[in-house]
Every structure is written in C-alpha cells, then in structure tokens.
Amino acid sequence: MSTSFEMLLSILLPLMFCIACQAQQQRLMPQSDTWNSTYEVTQTRASGANLTDAELHDISVALNFERSNWATGSVADDEFYTLPSNASSAPPGSVIKVQTYTNTSTYTLPPNTALSRIIFMTEDLNGTAVPASAYVLWPYLPRTQADGRYPLVTWGHGTSGGFAECGPSHIRNLWYQYSAPYALALAGYVVVAPDYRGLGINETANGKPIYHSYGAGQSAGVDLLYAAQAAQSAFPSISENFIVMGHSQGGNAAWGAAVRQAQSPSAGYLGTIAGSPTTNYTAIIDFYSGNPIIPPQLQLLWANALRGLHPSFNLSAILTDTGIVRLTLASELGMCNSAIGMLLPSGSSTYVVQPDWLSVPELSSYLSFLDRGTQQEVAGPMLVLQGTLDPAVPEQITTAAVQSTCKLYPTSDIEYWLFANVTHVPVLYASQRLWLDWIAERFAAADNAEDSNGAGSDGSCSMKNFTSGPMPSENYQTELEYYLELATQGYQVA
C-alpha cells in the first residue's frame, strides 16, 4: 500500500465514521399528524357570522388543511401570479407570462413529470379580455404526432372553490391528481389546465376584481380552448392537435368548449370528453328539492359570480346578513371546498340563504344562461362519462341532456357511456382504460387524416352500458379514500 494512499485513508476513515455517528444520532421523525399552517379563525375575526366555538374550530382545521396543501404558498405571495404590463392590452389566447420551470419539490407529482405555469388571456362573459393562470404538466417520454410534436390534452377540473386560492396551479396535487391529469401525463400526453377565470388570478392589471363565474360552462370552456392556444404558443414542441377533457364543473366546461368549437372552430381540435358534467343546475335543484344534499355553497358561489355580472347587485337578495358575512369571511380568508364545507354545512341554508333566493331575477337569468349551455350544437366527437350512483350529478339529468342534444341535432357525434354502481369522481377511475384508448384513437386518426378536425367522427349518437367485471359490484371500492401528502422522510415513500 502506497504511503499516499495510507495518508488518504487516515483522513477519510475518521470522517466517514463521524458521518455515520451523526446519521445514527439523527433519529427518524414520525409521520406528521399536524399541518404547517396554524391559522385560527376567532370569534373576533368571524364577528357577525353567528358561528359557535366548535364550528370555528372545525373551520380552522379545514382551512389549515387547505393551506398546508399550497405548494407555493398563497397566490398573493407567489411572484408568478403578478401580472406583466401587457396584461391590459393582449388579446384572448395570448400567452403573457411563462414560468418554464416550476420547482416541484413542494408538489406531490408523480416521479419523472415536470411542471410549467403560464398566464394567458381569456374572455369574461361579456367578451372582455381578462388574464387567467394555468399549469402545464410534462411527461418524461411524451408521445409524438406525425410532425414530431407532442399531443396536448386541455384539462378542466371540478369544483375547487370560487376564490383566488382555489386555483389548482398552486395546489400540491394539482387538485385532481391521478383522477385524470397525472394519468394523462403518465400515458405520454402534455396537459394544460387553466385555473378558470377568477381562480389563481382574481384581478386585472388595473386592479379590477375578476369574479369566478361558477357553473358557466360556456365561460370555462373558453378558458380551456384559450389555454390550449396559449400553451401551444408558449411551447412550440406542443402539437396543434389537442383533446378537451373535464370532470363535473370541468365536464360542463368541456361540453361548453365543444359548443364554442361548433360556433367558432379552433384548428387542431380532435374532440371532447365530458365526465359527470353539470349540464342543468335547475334540474339538479328540482331533483333534490327539499333534500339537504343541495349545499348552500352553490348559492354563495352564484351570489359571488353575480357581482361580476352586475356590479351593483345586492347580495342581500340571495343571502341573509349572516350569509353575507360568511361570504366575506370566505373571500378574505381564501376558503375553498374543505373550509367552505365547514363554514356552510348542509342545513345552514335556513339561516344563510333567503327563502325566495330562486326567484331573484338576476339569478334566474344566470341559471337559465347556464342551462342553455347544453342545449346547443356541439362539435364532435364528444364522449360523455356518467356513473349511475352519482350523488352530485344525477344520472337521469345527464341522460336527458345527451338525449335532448341528440334530438335537437341528430348528426351530433356523441358517445354516452354509463357505468353501473359508480359514483362521481370514481367514474374517471372506472373508465380510465377506455378513455385513454379513446384519446389515443383520436390522435392516431389525426395522423392518418388530411383534415384532423373531427378525426374519427361518424356523425351519430350512441350509448353503452358498462357493469363491473370479474367481481360482484359490492366487492369494489366505491369512493376515493386517500389524499397525497408531501413526504419529508425517506421511509414514508413506500
């Protein structure tokens, strides 16, 4: 052994031993059963909301759960959501800000996926250009089209809330995780997903509030189409060809995009998938009339939306004084689904919502506008997914919407797939293999067709019924019963 090698060992061995000793002294930390947010909603902060101490405790727990799942902190503190100077003049579809690399260390993404975020211009219900945010999820080995570019799916998420903090682009699991966006990326598709107008970014460059038009599929559908256009502009490696997909509120948005496509075609559109779409809110209200399942969150979100359409709208037409205070509290604290569910539990409508709220002219007009969104011609092909046991979007209402559209427009290319004993979000899991095949077929047809628009269309309506396979239906897991938590210790990753 050389003298120099012996000297090296004399230096390294004590050092390695020291490191090993330190490693043994640093004990593993147990999995956290607390959250990194500790905000407490006090009686002083909630003055006038008529909440008990027990209710404030539950609201605080839910609010801190939401805040602990912010990947980048509050949108108010995230530099990404600061608008550039051209946000006041750029036309709809323009990309005005690109964050090519988003640090994913605080997100709960699948391994070997990457994230970008963009700010683009979309339209409000009056056709005025307004900014919106979106994320772009990248696969490790993307599929390619004939031109060598990557196929795109523009994804519309289900209800996350009505305020800025409810934008999925700053939530650790992007809100829908393996239900669709992760599955799409792992299957090789680039995914662009708008937060929707009013979520993520909630004011214009000149400080004017942007209110989320909850339930307006026509509006969110425009967000989906412009997000695709913006992503294609920001990243030339993305193909012109794209699929629209969404679930629940996003299913309605996807349907709205198909309507918009029929009226004003976008190049590269290959079709739409609408999962559990909220096609007719009036019918849903009638279906559950008198049943506590109608959550007062709907009235709160619609009251908030009407402020964007009618600046002088008086909230007291829909909400009681208590309801107005709770809406203000929810807005100021950035409450989303979990916290608002505690703020407005089932049964609270009696003291939060006015008894004659449905007769308010502005709301009646708004609901009529929402319901008209699925009574128009759609650009096919469109695939509609629905579970028979869906508690949020009754199967009968979706079936009626599909049948009505097919009757009004007999050449509609709509496939309606009904899944027995399947509920709301789980329909995306039950049908995942099938809709991934459906998407692949659309892109394959586009590669083999001179005109990619309507690739794979046959101009007819059809319906398929699916039941569980090798096991009895009662043997299958019914609901989603997990969430993704950030692992801070290596042993927590199974």
CATH number at residue 172: 3.40.50.1820
Question: Is 44 inside a domain boundary?
Answer: no
d(CA 195, CA 166): 8
Q: Which ranges in 246-360 belong to alpha helices (H)?
A: 249-263, 281-287, 296-309, 321-333, 337-343, 349-352
Please work out, in degrees rounded to the nearest 5, the angle formed at the alpha carbon of residue 28 by the alpha carbons of 27 and 30.
130
Could you tell me which residues are beta bridge partners of residue 97? 119
190-194 and 129-139 strand pairing: antiparallel
d(CA 371, CA 283): 9
| Radius of gyration of the chain from its Cα atoms, rounded to whole angstroms | 24
d(CA 311, CA 327): 16
Q: Which ranges in 69-98 belong to alpha helices (H)?
A: none
pLDDT of residue 26: 75
Tally of domains in the chain? 1
d(CA 171, CA 65): 11
- From first to last of the 494 residues of the chain, give the pLDDT tens digit: 555 545 444 444 444 444 444 445 678 877 776 777 889 999 999 999 999 999 999 999 999 999 999 999 999 999 999 999 878 889 999 999 999 999 999 999 999 999 999 999 999 988 899 999 999 999 999 999 999 999 999 999 999 999 999 999 999 999 999 999 999 999 999 999 999 999 999 999 989 999 999 999 989 999 999 999 999 999 999 999 999 999 999 999 999 999 999 999 999 999 999 999 999 998 888 887 755 446 788 889 999 999 988 888 999 999 999 999 999 999 999 999 999 999 998 778 888 999 999 899 999 999 999 888 778 999 999 999 999 999 999 999 999 999 999 999 999 999 999 999 999 999 999 999 999 999 999 999 999 975 444 455 567 899 999 998 899 988 999 999 998 988 888 888 87
pLDDT of residue 457: 57
Question: Is 364 inside a domain boundary?
Answer: no
Tokens standing for 295? Answer: 């959550």
Question: Is 487 inside a domain boundary?
Answer: no
DSSP string, 293-315: TS-HHHHHHHHHHHHHH-TT--G
Question: Is 164 inside a domain boundary?
Answer: yes
d(CA 230, CA 134): 10
pLDDT of residue 182: 98
Question: Is 4 inside a domain boundary?
Answer: no
Tokens standing for 250? Answer: 């996003």
Structural domain containing residue 401: 74-279+378-475
Burial (CB count within 10 angstroms: exposed 0-12, middle 13-18, buried 19+), residue 29: exposed
The model's pTM: 0.92
pLDDT of residue 449: 76
Tokens standing for 377? Answer: 């011609």
pLDDT of residue 21: 45
Question: Is 22 inside a domain boundary?
Answer: no
Residue 221, φ and ψ in degrees, nearest 5 = -65, -40
